Amino acid sequence: MDTDGNRWLKFRSGSEVRGPQEALTDEFAEKLGYVFALWLAERLEKDPKALVLAVGRDERPSGKRLLAALSKGLLAAGCDVRDCGQCAAPALFMAAQGDADGAVMVTATPARDALNGFKFTTSKGGPDSADVKDILRRAADAEVPERLVVGPDTATRRYYEHLRRVAAKYLEDDALKPLLGLRVIVDARGSLGAEYARFLEALGVETEGSLTAPSPIFTDPEAPETLAALAGAVADKRADLGVAFTADGTRAFFVDRDGRPIAQNRLIALVAAMLLDAAPGLTFVTDSVTSSALSAFIAEWGGIHYRFKRGYRSVIDEAVRLNAEGINCPIAMETSGHAAFRENGFMDDGLYLATRLICEALNRKREGHDLIELVDGLQEPVESAELRLPVLPYEDWDPEEEVQAIVEGILSHTLTHPEWQMAPDNREGVRITFNLDGGVNNAWFQLRMSVHDPVMVLNAESAIPGGVKRILNALYELIRDTEYVDLRLLKEAL
């Protein structure tokens, strides 16, 4: 493979493309667009000249440049390209479920503005990791012909019209301001948050006190200081809910009226309870690191918890597959905050999630209840930990094979040590459960390869004090002689 091919493969990050902004050149973006169009034409069995592609970007400084180069490559393949400019990714991706064949968003999910990248979707679902690898390899050798420029589109306006219809449906109210009576604080320091705050105001929500003070463009919604500022504003204005978004709008983060984060297992539990309250018997697809307590909570509400692999595309594709088999699965969610509703075309859409929860909050407020009361029965772990263990540099060995050997060694250990029990829904890496101090399934760890980085991710939880240290110590003693993973962080945690 040539030099560009080798270098460009390093930009693959799961089912996305991601890298330092300065490393993503115009040539790279143009070739990527050209080859993606050809790949999509093959996938859909269409002539490239018959394709309609929507493109957009978030507010990262390099976005405008990369979008122009990407569009040039798509046009060179003969596509009809609709430039949506700066917009939310869900607004763009909705086009791929309407009159477009696919969409490309120039964005990098993390809030770090040093990165940028590309997210893809199509009318038949997005490319997986292997597809992206193939696209990057083909892009390195591509010869891109010249074509014309592309004009603007109105994806944002159409998307917010869609959200307005969603609010009217779930509030059963066709009034111009159906959300009157609710107070929501929005982190509106970026353009997307400010835009969503204006949308809520138009529907009657009181958003006074939302965060609008000058700040860096890329406020990290997961950062403690961001959630603390949001929680403080919620408390100051006695608001019903606080919400923040990633720069591309695919993930939403919430705080309740008491300033507590609604995230990870708690957020999934809230959505599950909301849906099961209306229709028991549903199946919920999540990523693999959700807690045992979440499974128990969903079961108590009359639902089924289905763990699958990490990666928002993985959980979405699995939910689509389950529905095709006749299993009633209304949503796919990751603990990182990605949420894709079936009713919304399984789009990875944080703004849609926020709108659904805001509507639910108002409906419950009218009945004299608070939204967060839905998860009162969720048991939080006493202890939890996440360690990212680097895979050592390699040249002449396959990291996936060596990591799999570690996993298989753990699985073999369970055959002779009955206190180590493989989880029945183990679908990624290895998840082992324990019955500590007479309890049942009250501690677990999972070891898996990261979707995006050359690290093994180790998650552990315990419902009893000291449980995490006990199970991690046992794991360390089992794998301490590995030559392929740096275990120093694990050793330090013991």
Pick from 133, 27, 106: which is nearest to 73 by CA?
A: 27
Which of 1-10, 13-22, 292-301, 445-454 has the weakest average pLDDT? 1-10
Class of domain 383-492: alpha beta
pTM of the model: 0.78
pLDDT above 90 (res 398): no
Q: Fold for domain 158-375?
A: Alpha-D-Glucose-1,6-Bisphosphate; Chain A, domain 3 (3.40.120)
Overall residue count recorded for the chain in this entry: 494
| Strand pairing report for 241-245 and 252-255 | antiparallel
Judge whether residue 149 has pLDDT over 70. Answer: no
Six-digit token string for 251: 């993930």
Q: What is the mean pLDDT of the chain?
A: 89
Inter-residue contact 433 to 441 (CB < 8 Å):
yes
CA distances from 332 to 242, 257, 321, 328, 340 (A): 23, 26, 11, 12, 5
Q: How far apart are CA 375 and CA 18, in angstroms?
A: 36
Distance CA 343, CA 332 (A): 11
Give 56-115 as a DSSP string: EE-S-TTHHHHHHHHHHHHHHTT-EEEEEEE--HHHHHGGGGTT-SEEEEE--SSS-TTE
Whole-angstrom distance, CA of residue 138 vs CA of residue 210: 46
Residue 13's beta-bridge partner residues? 16
Q: Please give the distance of CA 452 from its chain centroid, rounded to a whole number.
A: 13
Q: Around Cβ 126, how many Cβ atoms within 10 Å?
A: 21
| Helix, strand, coil abundance in the chain, percent, nearest 5 | 45, 20, 35
- Dihedral through CA 318, CA 320, CA 323, CA 329, nearest 10? 70
Classify residue 172 by burial, with Cβ atoms within 10 Å: 0-12, 13-18, 19+: exposed
Select, from the ranges 416-420, 424-428, 481-485, the one with the highest average predicted confidence (pLDDT).
416-420
pLDDT of 2: 44
Contact 331, 480 (CB under 8 A): no
Q: Which one is predicted more confidently, 428 or 256? A: 256
Do residues 307 and 288 touch, judged by C-beta distance below 8 A? Answer: yes
The CATH number for 3-153, chosen from 3.75.10.20, 3.40.640.10, 3.30.70.1050, 3.40.120.10, is: 3.40.120.10
Q: Please write the tens of the pLDDT for every residue from 292-339.
A: 899 999 999 999 999 998 888 899 999 999 999 999 999 999 998 999
Amino acid, single-letter form, for residue 46: K
CB 226 within 8 A of CB 219: yes
Average pLDDT of span 100-109: 89
pLDDT computed for residue 384 by the predictor: 92
The pLDDT value recorded for residue 142 is: 85
Task: List pLDDT tens digits, range 214-247.
Answer: 655 566 787 888 889 999 999 999 999 999 998 8
Distance in angstroms (rounded) separating the CA atoms of residues 40 and 53: 10
Cα 415–418–423 angle (5° rounding)? 80
Where along the chain do its domains lie?
3-153, 158-375, 383-492
- The reported pLDDT for the residue numbered 454 is 80
* Other residues' Cβ atoms within 10 Å of the Cβ of residue 243: 30
Distance between CA atoms of 198 and 188, rounded to whole angstroms?
9
The rounded distance, in Å, linking the Cα atoms of 120 and 140 is 18
Model pLDDT for residues 40-82, shown as the tens digit of each residue? 999 998 988 889 999 999 988 889 999 999 999 999 898 889 8
> With pLDDT > 70 as the criterion, what percentage of the chain qualifies?
93
What 3-state DSSP class applies to 198?
helix
The residue type at 36: F
Rg (Cα) of the chain, in Å, rounded? 23
Contact 410, 430 (CB under 8 A): yes
> At residue 101, does pLDDT exceed 70?
yes
Three-state SS at 157: helix
Q: Do domains 158-375 and 383-492 have the same CATH topology?
A: no
d(CA 211, CA 19): 30
